[in-house]
Structure 1
């Protein structure tokens, strides 16, 4: 029986479906919603704004808040008693997810993000997690 589940969420519909799945299939497990904020780089538009922040960790927490708010809405709709923890990591999504995966019984991840860029990027992330995870991975579509 899985007692701890890691659900990486990026704000996409597929990541929301992953959380819904995790809450339904593992109702008694400790669920952690992980949001990874990319390190500032010219290639990552959303993370570039973080480079201007005085407190990078506080800016990352603020950035993740909308994802966590949506996760709470999903948990409330699934079951009023659903509980989960949240975690924000800075860095590359694959590395951040894999660094945490060992502490969980499974990872439940969305298959890809919403648009073509997300599909190419996040789909690539899901594939790498499946190939490299030290624990079982459930990919939700």
Structure 2
């Protein structure tokens, strides 16, 4: 039975480590990468969600090219999506809607004042997820 593994992604080393971990530990499962455009950080002019089946999209973050490259090095493809919302809530909602079996995420993405003010996304996801969560340092 193929599992669906969700990897929340930003442009940080812990997120890249989480992707590499997911691709290694779940070699026969579907891996989906999601990037959250956080409305608290982006302000009020948001943009609609964008989903791609692994090919570049004009609205996707630049680091999705790295995501596809990391997957290709392992002869894998990944599904990618850009969603809007508050990070932890958006990740949890996407996990529910996509019927995810496992979440693999980096231990931290934001740093400094942003992390102190907004809290730890990894901690919030771990506490509220209805599926197992693996935190990769």
Asked if Structure 1 and Structure 2 have the same fold, meaning a TM-score greater than 0.5 normalized by the shorter chain, the answer is yes
When residues 121 and 3 of structure 1 are mapped into structure 2, their CA distance, relative to the original with a 3 A threshold, is: farther
Give the aligned CA root-mean-square deviation in angstroms: 2.7
Does the CA-based 8 Å contact 1:112-1:122 persist in structure 2?
no
Aligned partner of residue 57 in structure 1, secondary structure: coil
Q: Does 1:126 align with 2:117?
A: no
TM-score, with structure 1 as normaliser: 0.79
Aligned pairs for 1:106-125 (under 5 A) are: 106-113=102-109, 115-117=111-113, 120=116, 124-125=120-121
Point out the structure with the larger helix share: 1
Aligned partner of residue 10 in structure 2, secondary structure: coil
Q: Does 1:57 align with 2:24?
A: no
| TM superposition shift of 1:22 | 0.2
| TM superposition shift of 1:73 | 1.9
For 2:67 and 2:118, locate their aligned partners in 1 and report how far apart those are by CA, in whole Å: 18
Q: How many residues align?
A: 130
Residues 85-122 of structure 1 deviation map (CA, whole Å, 9 limit, x = unaligned): 00111111111111022311100010002643465478
Q: Does 1:97 align with 2:91?
A: yes
